[in-house]
Amino acid sequence: MKRIGIMTTGGDCSGLNTVIQRVVTGAMRRGWTVIGILDGTDGLCASPARFVEFTYDTLPIETARLAGSWLHNGHAGALNYETAAATGRLNEFNRRVRKSLQELKLDALILVGGNGSLSLAWENREIYSDLSLVCIPKTIDMDVPLTDSTIGFDTAVQQVVNFCDQLILTARSHHRFFVVQTMGRDCGNLALKAGVAFGADVILIPEIKFDIDELVYHIQEQPRDYGIILVSEGIRIRGHSGRPADIISRKLTAAGVVNRTAFPEHIQRAGDTVASDRILAVKMADAALNAIENNETFVMTRVHDGECDTIGLAEFFAAGEITSDPKIPNMHTSNAYVSPDDPLLAVAYNMGIYMGTEE
């Protein structure tokens, strides 16, 4: 009988509770014990480590659709990679995490995290050398290499679309445009998918250069005097600092275009988990449990051409664009971005959506 652990790390999103519940269900059907680590690596740094042993009733299926993580994702200011790096305690942090994992006597650990968490796990793989490590990718940014989907992304897209669906009604009433800024960090997938789904007049993403004067002209030439301009938070506007939506709003105002800014903020990481994310959670939970059963380690579940399987963390890390972590010296993150070959870009251009310079 195996004893496995599961923890969620990084930012929260919808679908975390679904994947936790599905992991627990699948593991217990195999006769395994499941330990839920509270607050991710923060919980492992506590003495003793903070955890709960799951039963079938711990996370009922009727609550598994809810956003957030039942296991929590960490405390602000607690000892974690960032705070340990800032205070020169990284070696101590690594020792404490490994010691806690040894004391929990786990055969395997499922880590549910984004590209930062997965990159850190690979860069610090000696911590997990005494057990099988299986990672499940979750992020609303969709910036994890080598997977077609990540848990939480589809729900975040739906949340942005819902936000714009309501906002367009007041936009029409007042003959104005709204500049809506989405999350996504340096990846434009969230803004792109939500913008095409909603029918935005403009979609700006970090991967495509744009001219702000062309943008203004595009809005001035629209057949209606209201609409939505969707802006990914990671775009850069030469010669300006501040939030991109505010900069664009000021430019539009100067050109006589009536507009307001709107920031959906953390509702993008909330909302009941949509069906596609729940299906993804089942697939990835099953793939993770199968990997543990097959004694795989340092692997990540992924979806490719509709199939869910595992790939090595080394492959994941090498496949992305490697950048230095700004908060953790000598650490790196593997990033994925919107591909210039993404067919949705052509769809957006064909629908008359301004996205910048078409290559």
Answer yes or no: is 327 within a domain: no
pLDDT tier, 77 (very low <50, low <70, confident <90, very high otherwise)? confident
**What does the pLDDT average to over 195-218?**
97
* 136 & 279 share domain: yes
* 183 & 131 share domain: no
**What does the pLDDT average to over 176-187?**
98
* 24 & 121 share domain: yes
Q: Is the pLDDT of residue 359 over 80?
A: no
**What does the pLDDT average to over 222-245?**
95
* 140 & 285 share domain: yes
Answer yes or no: is 229 within a domain: yes
Q: Is the pLDDT of residue 11 over 60?
A: yes
Q: What is the structure's pLDDT at 213?
A: 96
Answer yes or no: is 295 within a domain: yes
Q: How many domains does the chain have?
A: 2
Answer yes or no: is 227 within a domain: yes
Tokens of 157: 């897209």
Q: What is the structure's pLDDT at 358?
A: 54
* 134 & 165 share domain: no
Q: What is the structure's pLDDT at 239?
A: 85
pLDDT tier, 241 (very low <50, low <70, confident <90, very high otherwise)? confident
* 210 & 164 share domain: yes
The tens digit of pLDDT for each residue in 243-268 reads 999 999 999 999 999 999 999 999 99
* 116 & 130 share domain: yes
* 169 & 290 share domain: no
* 290 & 248 share domain: no
State what percent of residues in the chain have pLDDT above 90.
93
Q: Is the pLDDT of residue 275 over 90?
A: yes
Give me the chain's average pLDDT, please.
Answer: 96
pLDDT tier, 357 (very low <50, low <70, confident <90, very high otherwise)? confident
Catalytic (active-site) positions: 141
Answer yes or no: is 211 within a domain: yes
* 50 & 79 share domain: yes
Q: What is the structure's pLDDT at 334?
A: 98
What CATH number is associated with residue 108? 3.40.50.450
Q: Is the pLDDT of residue 286 over 90?
A: yes
What CATH number is associated with residue 212? 3.40.50.460
Answer yes or no: is 358 within a domain: no
Answer yes or no: is 331 within a domain: no
Range of the domain at 167: 156-269+340-350
Answer yes or no: is 88 within a domain: yes
* 307 & 199 share domain: no
* 182 & 238 share domain: yes
